Structure 1
Amino acid sequence: MKADGKDDVKAALTVDGYQRLTALIESAWQELQAGDAGRRDHCLEVVSDVLETGHLTQDDAERAVARLVPVALSDEGHTVRESALHAIFTGSTRYRFPYRVVEPLADGVDRFERVLLGYVLGILCDTYDQAALPIIERFLDHPHPEVRKEAAEAAGELRAAGRGPE
C-alpha cells in the first residue's frame, strides 16, 4: 500500500476495479494488525476511502464494517478508534447496514467519549432500524448540548423513517 490511500483507491477504480479495491482492503487489514498507531490510522483511512466509493458489493461492505466495529470498540488510542468510526460512518452514507452489523456499537455506546458519540448516533440512525431508537433517545438528555442536538436529529430522522412514506 502506498503512502496516499486516496491515490490507491483512484488507481483501483481505473486499473482493475473491484478486485483491486478488495485487495486494497485486505492489504489494509494485514497492515492494521502489525502497524503502529499512525500506520493503523492510515490503514483505516484507506478502508474509509474504499467504502466512500460505493463500489463494493453490499456483502463486502458489511464484512468491512463488521471488522471495523471491534476496532472502534477497542482500547486503541482515540485517533484509531475515531478513524474506525469515521470509516463506518462514511460507509453508512453509501450503504444501508443492517442493525445487527453495528449493534455492538449500540451495546458499547457508553464507552465512547463525547466527541465520538456523534459518529455512533449517526451510524445507528443510518440503519433505519427502530431497534436503534431507544439507544439514541437515551442521549436526548445528555449533559452536552452538541450530543443532545445530534441525538435529537438522529431520533427525528429514525422516527420519520419508521412512519414510512406519507
Structure 2
Amino acid sequence: MDGYQGLTALIESAWEELNSSDAGRRDLCLDVVSDVLETGRLTPDDAERAVERLVTVALSDESYPVRESSLHAACTASMHYELPYRVVEPLAVGADGFEPLLLDYVLAILGSTHDQAALPIVERFLHHPHPEVRKEAAEAVNELRWSQKPTETAQ
C-alpha cells in the first residue's frame, strides 16, 4: 500500500467508525480525518468528498463536540485545498442553526471559497449579537471581497 492509499484507508476507516453510538469515538475519528486533510496530499476530488461528508456530520450530528470536530476538519481542509462553494453550500443554508462558536468555523469556511455567492450569507452575520461572530464575519467578508475579480474594462 503506497502513502496515498494509506491516507485514503485511514479516512475510510474513520467514516466506518462514525456509525458508532459513542460520541467520543466519533469525535476521535473526525480528528483522524482532519489530520489526513492537513497533509494536503489528497486529490482535490477526494478532499471535496471528505468535506461533503464533514458538512453532513456538522449539520446532522446531535453531539456538539462531534459537530465542532467536523467543522474543524472542514476548516483545516479549506486551508489546504481550494474548496468550491457548492461543496460547503449546505453550511450556508444551515448557518442560522449553529451556535456562535461553531458559526466562526462556518464563516471561515465560506470565506475561504472565494465565491461571491457566499458574500450575502456572510454579510448577514456582521451584526450578530456575539462579537466573535461579527469579527469572523468581517474577516470572511474581507476575504471574499479581496478575491473578487476586477471587472474587465471595455476595449
TM norm structure 2: 0.94
Q: CA deviation at 1:158?
A: 0.6
Considering only aligned residues, what root-mean-square deviation do their CA atoms show, in Å?
1.1
Q: How does 1:128-143 map to 2 (within 5 A)?
A: 128-143=114-129
Pairing partner for 2:69 from 83, 89, 97: 83
Distance 2:46 2:100 in 1: 30
Pairing partner for 1:159 from 142, 145, 149: 145
Aligned equivalent of 1:115: 101
Distance 2:149 2:48 in 1: 26
Distance 1:27 1:146 in 2: 35
Aligned equivalent of 1:69: 55
Q: How does 1:41-80 map to 2 (within 5 A)?
A: 41-80=27-66
Q: CA deviation at 1:74?
A: 1.1
Aligned equivalent of 1:106: 92
| AA matched with 2:98 | F
Structure 1 residues 124 and 46: alpha-carbon distance in aligned structure 2, compared to 1, 3 A threshold: same
Deviating 4+ runs (over 4 angstroms): none
Q: CA deviation at 1:34?
A: 2.3
Distance 1:60 1:128 in 2: 20
Q: Secondary structure at the match of 2:55?
A: helix
Task: Report how many residues are paired.
Answer: 150
Aligned equivalent of 1:150: 136
Q: How does 1:8-23 map to 2 (within 5 A)?
A: 16-23=2-9
Aligned equivalent of 1:31: 17
Q: Secondary structure at the match of 2:18?
A: helix
Aligned equivalent of 2:153: none
| AA matched with 2:132 | E
Distance 1:75 1:59 in 2: 24
| AA matched with 1:30 | E
Distance 1:40 1:34 in 2: 6
Q: Secondary structure at the match of 1:42?
A: helix
